[in-house]
Every structure is written in C-alpha cells, then in structure tokens.
Amino acid sequence: MSFPIIVREIAQTSFACPSQWQGTTNDGSRIYVRFRHGYLRIDVDGTTVHRSSQKGDGVMSYDELRRCTAHLFVWPAP
C-alpha cells in the first residue's frame, strides 16, 4: 500500500467512546477509523495501516483526524 491514501467518502458512525468512521478509498477499498482511549487506528480492507497515540480519550473530531493524519491520508472536505 502506498501513501498518501486518497479517501473518496467517509461517514462518522459513532461520535464518542469510540469516535468511528467508515468509508471507501479512491481505489474502492474499505476504510475503518477508530479512536478510543487515546489510541487511533486506521484499517484499510481489514489491514491496520496506521496506529498512533493522540491526546484525548474517546472523542475526536473529523478536523482533528484530518490534521493528525494529513501526512498519510487525503480526506474529503467536511
């Protein structure tokens, strides 16, 4: 998998505890994002492609997600 990954569409499925999003990438792969207990995980087609620790517990805004992963992902505008 090469970076940056272009995300075509994304929808927030849970606001808090955890914050979660699901969508598709430009090549049709499925993307899943989860932020819980200060830990961010992003999977593409069931494979974890990013893990990091972030400030906070289980609430992350879409803007924060975009900001902290901009070096790896191209997210659609809100």
How far is CA 38 from each of CA 24, 29, 41, 50, rounded to the nearest angstrom?
Answer: 24, 26, 10, 14
Number of structural domains found in the chain: 1
Q: Which structural domain range is residue 41 located in?
A: 5-74
Q: What is the pLDDT of residue 1?
A: 80
Supply φ then ψ for residue 67, to 5 degrees: -65, -45
- What's the whole-model pTM score? 0.94
Three-class DSSP category at 63: helix
Tens-of-pLDDT digits for all 78 residues of the chain? 899 999 999 999 999 999 999 999 999 999 999 999 999 999 999 999 999 998 888 999 999 999 999 999 999 999
**Kind plus residue range of the DSSP H or E element containing 56:** none
Strands 73-74 and 5-14: parallel
